[in-house]
Amino acid sequence: MDTPTTLHSRSIPDIPADPAKEARTAGWVAAIAGLSLLFDGFDLTVYGTVLPGLAKGGSNALGWWATGINAGQPIPPAVAGQLGSYALIGVMIGSLFAGAIGDRIGRRKLIVAGIAWFSIGMFITAFAQSIAFFGVVRLLTGLGLGALLATAGATMAEFAPAGKRNFYNAVVYSGIPAGGVLAALLGLALLAHIGWRGLFMIGASPILFLLPMALAKLPESPRWLVSRGRLDEAVEISRRTGIPLSEHQQFGGVPVAEDLHLEQKTGFAGIFSGTYLAGTLFLGFMSFSGLLLTYGLNTWLPVIMGGHLQGAGMGADAAKQYGLVFLLLLNGGAVVGGLIASRVADKAGPQRVIITTFVLAALALTLMTFGFPVALLLAFIAVAGVGVLGTQVLIYGFTSNYYSTRVRAAGVAWCSGFGRLGGIFGPLIGGWLAAAGVAGETAFYVFAGVALFGGLMTVLVPRPRKGLSDDEQRAVDERARHVVTD
């Protein structure tokens, strides 16, 4: 029987497994990537937390173009929706840019640069005096956030132990809704004392502790180094971290696509090749649906529910506080539900679980339109959090493991970047509905329809067999044929 595993005419050594080192390294990577996305989620959710106050105007509000020009005036709903979308436009651009270069320059550089970029952006935003400047800096900050979103999942997929990939990806991407929880909690506790500018300063703090942690503890992916032909560096990092050099060392000695010299397209060319094309398109629409729901609800849920509760006879101040509680439950439900669902996904496969959570979201959002007591509404929004933000966590994990190493960053970037179109439309749709005076019930029906569309897109994704990417499965089949003929 042949003993393949060659790359560029050199053998990939079978370095002995070291589960203790591998688990320790995976833990550090998960902590750094997860904290990065926690502040990513904080940044993208804090706007919804401070929006009710900004929209009302006041002494700390923004002027239109400069200090003193219409300062203190309420922000119209349509303009508020546009401001909520600017950061997401930046995230989309940053994600796609990271995907274009991430499979060429590596994971570590992009994560370090993304942390520094968005921290500085949040710091500058805290000093904005006009709506125009606020919007521009929010867009620029989104570039760094997009680079992190596109890279964190690809990195974690290459460091996670076999059989726990969905769980580790869920831990990392649960940082996004956890950041939403943090934004809601700090909004409840501190907004009245430090204002929206103080909350944005908190969002800039990762440059003080997370950036040094990433520089010290985040290694480059040895599998990425192998895919780029940098075998000596990959061997050194593999021995130090316990991370296998290639997928075949986690799948019983089966060589992967890179080892068999199968199609070698990288980046976006690879994910739009015949091997991945259908899956790439449907994964993009899944992410579009999930992010439209995520950012539409994170931006407008406090406003929608505040108005709904006031219409039911609750006082304005109490309704505002309940609106933030709903935001807290939406994100908290996503963190808990996403982690539980990811453990199920490691056993049953992520595709079935994602279909289920999309349907749960549609059901919960529909039930929000009925005149149930507040306690039941709180429960429904927690379930919606599982089906909305929790689903997006699972989508990122599904995408990270759907592609092989040579195109993984581009695949996750496509999922994040194209999906960001949904994130852009979410706040805009909420703003349009609010400006048109449409009742909250209609908005919930619109969002429920989006959830059902996302479930349909999930059904249509070609399912990778045995939990491997398509190329890895092709390698397994090829190797099996060699074994039979030998």
Enclosing domain of residue 124: 17-485
Q: Is 9 inside a domain boundary?
A: no
Spell out the SS3 assignment of the chain.
Answer: CCCCCEECCEECCCCCCCHHHHHHHHHHHHHHHHHHHHHHHHHHHHHHHHHHHHHHCCCCCCECCCCCCCCCCCCCHHHHHHHHHHHHHHHHHHHHHHHHHHHHHCHHHHHHHHHHHHHHHHHHHCCCCEHHHHHHHHHHHHHHHHHHHHHHHHHHHHHCCCCCHHHHHHHHHCHHHHHHHHHHHHHHHHHHHHHHHHHHHHHCCHHHHHHHHHHHHCCCCHHHHHHCCCHHHHHHHHHHHCCCCCHHHCCCCCCCCCCCCCCCCCHHHHHCCCCCHHHHHHHHHHHHHHHHHHHHHHHHHHHHHHHHHHHCCCCHHHHHHHHHHHHHHHHHHHHHHHHHHHHHHHHHCHHHHHHHHHHHHHHHHHHCCCCCCHHHHHHHHHHHHHHHHHHHHHHHHHHHHHCCHHHHHHHHHHHHHHHHHHHHHHHHHHHHHHHCCCCHHHHHHHHHHHHHHHHHHHHHCCCCHHHCCHHHHHHHHHHHHHHHHC
Q: Which residues pair with 461 in a beta bridge?
A: none
Of 385, 392, 386, nearest in space to 412 by CA:
392
- C-alpha–C-alpha distance, residues 374 and 356, integer Å: 25
pLDDT at 391: 85
Question: Is 4 within a domain?
Answer: no
Question: Which amino acid would we find at residue 153?
Answer: G
| 8 in a structural domain | no
In a domain, 72, yes or no: yes
| Calpha distance 271→399 (Å, rounded) | 11
CB contact set of 137 (below 8 Å; sequence gap of 6+): 121, 124, 125, 128
Rounded Cα–Cα distance for residues 123 and 144 (Å): 13
Q: What residues contact 202, with CB distance under 8 A and at least 6 apart?
A: 42, 186
The pLDDT value recorded for residue 374 is 73
* 7 part of a folded domain: no
The conformational region for residue 42 under phi > 0 = left, psi -120 to 50 = alpha, else beta, is: alpha
- The 10s digit of each residue's pLDDT in 282-328 is 999 999 999 888 878 877 776 666 666 655 566 666 666 666 677 77
Judge contact between 335 and 178, C-beta under 8 A.
Answer: yes
CB burial string 93-114: b at 16+ within 10 A, e below: bbbbbbbbbbbeebbbebbbbb
Rounded to the nearest 5 degrees, what angle is found at the Cα of 147, between the Cα atoms of 389 and 353? Answer: 30
Torsion of CA 236, 242, 243, 247, to 10 degrees: 110
Residue 276: CATH number of its domain: 1.20.1250.20
Neighbours of 481 (CB within 10 A): 10
Partners of 6 in the β-ladder: 11
| Inside any domain, residue 374 | yes
Overall number of domains in the chain:
1
Residue 5 lies in a domain: no
Q: Is residue 429 part of a domain?
A: yes
Regions of the chain where pLDDT drops below 50? 1-9, 59, 65-69, 248-263, 465-486
Residue 314 phi, psi dihedral angles, 5° rounding: -80, 150
Distance CA 142, CA 95 (A): 9
Q: Count the Cβ atoms, other than its own, within 10 Å of residue 185.
A: 16
